[in-house]
Amino acid sequence: MKRFPGVVASNGVNLAVRKGEIHCLLGENGAGKTTLMRILYGLYQPDEGEIILNGKAVRISSPRAALSYHIGMVHQHFRLVPTLTVAENVVLGLNEGTGPFLNYKQTCKKISDIADKYGLVVDPRAKVWQLTVGQRQRVEILKALYREASILIMDEPTSVLTPQEVDQLFSTLRTLVDDGLTIIFITHKLDEVMEISDRVTVLRKGKAIATVNTAETNKAQLAELMVGREVVFRLEKNEVNRGEKILVVDDVHALNDRGLPALRGTSFDLYEGEILGVAGVSGNGQRELAEVLTGLRRARRGHVTLEGRAMINCSAREISDMGVAHVPTERKRIGTVPNMTVRDNLILKTYRKPPFSHGMFLDNRAAEENARKAMDEYQIMAPSIDTAVKVLSGGNIQRVVLARELSGDPRLIIAAHPTYGLDVGATEQVREILLAQRDRGAGILLISEDLEEIMTMSDRILVLFEGRVMGVIDAKAAQIERIGLMMAGIEEEEK
C-alpha cells in the first residue's frame, strides 16, 4: 500500500518501517532492540548491512547525522541537564538566535507552539530538576520535534510513567502519527504493543523473528514469538499463610531530597508470610518510605519496629543485620557496583562476615564458591564470576541483587520496583522468587507503580497518596477502579 521509506538490515536483522506508522520493536532484554536502535541513531556503526531511508542508502555516523536525516530518539534514561530550563535543554547544541545570543522569548514561544499542538504540556521556563519524570520525557520528545524529526525512536518510554501518564503519552503519539511522523516504539510490554502499534517486529537473540500486523495477532502469540516458548500469564500462588505481625510502621514523617514533607504520618502493619503491595502514583512517598525502612533516609518522627525491636533511624548496616533485605529501585545506581565483578557484587553486604572474611582479610575462595552457587541457583547468565556487572542485562543484574539480598533468609524484604525494566522471562522468575520467599514466611513490602504487578502479587494492597496511607484493602476484593481513585487521593474518609 505504502512506500517503504526505511529498511534496515544489520547483523542479520531486517526491519522495514513504513512512513506514518507506529512500529513496535518487541523483544526480551538482550534481544538486540536497543542495539538496533542505536545503530539507527548513529551511536553504533553496523559491521555489515545497510540502512535505506526513503529509498536511498545512507550512512548514519553520529546522532548529529541522524538528526540531519530527521531521525530523533528518546532514550530510556533521559539526556537532560537538570539545572537548565526546558527551553535551554531543547535548544542545547543547536545554533539558534543571532551570534552567541539566544532569543529566549521567541524560543519559548516556538516550544510552546509545538507543545500545544501535540498535547505535551510543559512550561518552557521551568528548570528540568523541578519536573516530574513524565514531564521530563515530554521535554525529550520536544527536543526531537524542535529538531524537526520525522522518525521518532522511543526506547521503553513507558517504563518510568504512571498509568495516567502512559495514556497521555499514547494520545500524543497518535497525534504525531496523524501528522505524518513515523514512530519506532521499543518495548517488552505486550499490553502496550497491542494498544499502540500498527505493526510489530519481534526480536529474539539478535534476530528478527517476525513482523506482524497488530490487528492480526494477540498477546499469547507475541509472547511465544518473543520468548520462544509458551508463556503462562497466571502466576501459581499458594494460599496466604499469615503469621505473626513482623513490621509495625507508626506515624512516620520524613522529608524528600528537596526538604519537603514526603511522608506525613504513614502507618501500617506487615505480617510474616504475606506480600503487602504499595500502590500509588510516582512521587507520593514510595521512595522515601523504602529509604526510611532500610536506613538510607532519616525519619523526623514516628516509630518503626521489626519483631518488637525499634528499627527507626538505625543505620543501613544495622537494619541489614536485623534481617531486612532491600531490592532497590535503581539496581545499577544503588543496588550494585557496575564496575566490580559478579563475585564482588554478591558479597557487597556480607563481605565483612565469615565465611567471606577472616580478621581483616577477604576469603576469595569463599566468595568464588558463593558466586558459583548463586549463579546456578538464580540462573544468572554471565560469562564468568569475574565479569563486571555493568555488561550484564537488566534481568541478570536483578538476579545478582536478589541472590545477594535473599541469602541468609531475611525476615523482611523491601522490594522496590523489582521487575522494572525486565523482560517477560525475567519478570516471571523474579515474581516466583518473591512468592517463594513469602511462602517461606518472610514479610514482603512490594512497592511498584505497575498496578498489574501489585494486583497479581499482593495479599493486601496499601495505597499511598501524598505520604499518607489512603487505605489498605484485601487483594482478592480489590477493584482496579477503586485503587485508581485512592491513588488520586479520593475516598479519604473511608479510611
Interface residues with other proteins (CB under 8 A) are 44-45, 57, 59, 61-62, 64-65, 68, 294-296, 315-318, 320, 326, 328, 333-340, 344, 348-349, 351-352, 357, 360-362, 364, 387-388, 391
Kindly state the smallest distance separating residue 434's Cβ from other proteins, in Å.
19
Of the pair 106, 339, the CB lying nearest other proteins is at: 339
Kindly state the smallest distance separating residue 438's Cβ from other proteins, in Å.
23
Kindly state the smallest distance separating residue 401's Cβ from other proteins, in Å.
10
Of the pair 65, 114, the CB lying nearest other proteins is at: 65
Residue 89: what residue type?
N
Of the pair 157, 328, the CB lying nearest other proteins is at: 328
The b-or-e profile of 211-246 (16+ CB within 10 A means b, else e) is bbebeebeeeebbebbbeeebeeeeebeebeeeeeb
Of the pair 147, 438, the CB lying nearest other proteins is at: 147
Partner residues linked to 471 by β-bridges: 463
Residue 141: what residue type?
I
CA distance 208 to 201: 7
CA atoms within 13 A on the CB side of 483: 25
What is the DSSP secondary-structure string of 430-489?
HHHHHHHHHHHT-EEEEE-S-HHHHHHH-SEEEEEETTEEEEEEEGGG--HHHHHHHHTT
**CA distances (Å), origin 386, targets 345, 377, 401, 483:** 10, 17, 16, 45
CA distance 478 to 457: 12
Kindly state the smallest distance separating residue 362's Cβ from other proteins, in Å.
6
Kindly state the smallest distance separating residue 339's Cβ from other proteins, in Å.
5
Q: Using the 8-state DSSP alphabet, how is residue 283 labeled?
A: T
For helices 104-118 and 133-146, give the axis angle rounded to 10 degrees. Answer: 110
Instruction: Report the candidate in 378, 441, 77, 20 with the shortest Cα–Cα distance to residue 198.
Output: 20
Of the pair 152, 346, the CB lying nearest other proteins is at: 346
Partner residues linked to 71 by β-bridges: 151
**CA distances (Å), origin 454, targets 135, 190, 415, 431:** 24, 17, 12, 11
Contact 362, 351 (CB under 8 A): yes
CA distance 380 to 372: 10
CB atoms within 10 A of CB 4: 12
Kindly state the smallest distance separating residue 202's Cβ from other proteins, in Å.
25
Contact 6, 182 (CB under 8 A): yes
Kindly state the smallest distance separating residue 38's Cβ from other proteins, in Å.
10
Of the pair 47, 216, the CB lying nearest other proteins is at: 47
Instruction: Report the candidate in 197, 139, 187, 148 with the shortest Cα–Cα distance to residue 29.
Output: 187
Kindly state the smallest distance separating residue 348's Cβ from other proteins, in Å.
5
Kindly state the smallest distance separating residue 199's Cβ from other proteins, in Å.
30
Of the pair 147, 326, the CB lying nearest other proteins is at: 326
Of the pair 182, 320, the CB lying nearest other proteins is at: 320
Straight-line distance from the first to the last Cα atom of the chain, in angstroms, rounded to the nearest whole number: 57
Kindly state the smallest distance separating residue 389's Cβ from other proteins, in Å.
10
Of the pair 168, 294, the CB lying nearest other proteins is at: 294
Of the pair 126, 362, the CB lying nearest other proteins is at: 362
Of the pair 42, 273, the CB lying nearest other proteins is at: 42
Of the pair 62, 479, the CB lying nearest other proteins is at: 62
Instruction: Report the candidate in 187, 195, 170, 182 with the shortest Cα–Cα distance to residue 226.
Output: 187
Kindly state the smallest distance separating residue 175's Cβ from other proteins, in Å.
31
Residue 412: what residue type?
L
The b-or-e profile of 96-122 (16+ CB within 10 A means b, else e) is beeeeeeebeebbebbbeebeebebeb
Kindly state the smallest distance separating residue 54's Cβ from other proteins, in Å.
17
